[in-house]
Amino acid sequence: MQIIDEIIFSYAIFQQKNILCDFREAFFPDESMTELLDIALAMARYRHVLKGRIAHVAGPNGGQIQIARNLENLLTLKNFNYRCFSDMEAARNWVSE
């Protein structure tokens, strides 16, 4: 949630179009569906600001990529242009298109 707040706060200064979030070293509990819903709802409040592409790079360990895909599905339903990746270079290419 803090990351979302920082992105929204910095938007007024940087006017970013696309966002790349590197979560390769982050830890998300396997039972984090409630947390994912909280993130999706928090982001939905700022839909008017988060108009560009958002890339989520997940780590290869455990179920991190599955959790990222669940978040991708939730945010896609909220009309975000959000994709998860396991490869940083693929994510960079996608946000720079």
* Extents of the domains making up the chain: 2-10+18-96
Residue 14 predicted with pLDDT over 70: no
88 close to 22: Cβ distance less than 8 angstroms: yes
What mean pLDDT is predicted for residues 5-22?
71
Alpha helical stretches, state H, 15-77: 33-45, 64-77
What confidence tier does 94 reach under pLDDT thresholds 50, 70, 90? very high
What mean pLDDT is predicted for residues 23-32?
71
For 5, counting Cβ atoms within 10 Å of its Cβ (0-12 exposed, 13-18 middle, 19+ buried), the class is exposed
Q: How far apart are CA 40 and CA 82, in angstroms?
A: 11
Tell me the pLDDT tens digit for each residue of 50-61. 788 989 998 877
Tell me the pLDDT tens digit for each residue of 30-74. 656 677 677 777 777 777 777 889 899 988 776 788 888 888 998
Contacts of 44 (CB under 8 A, 6+ apart): 78
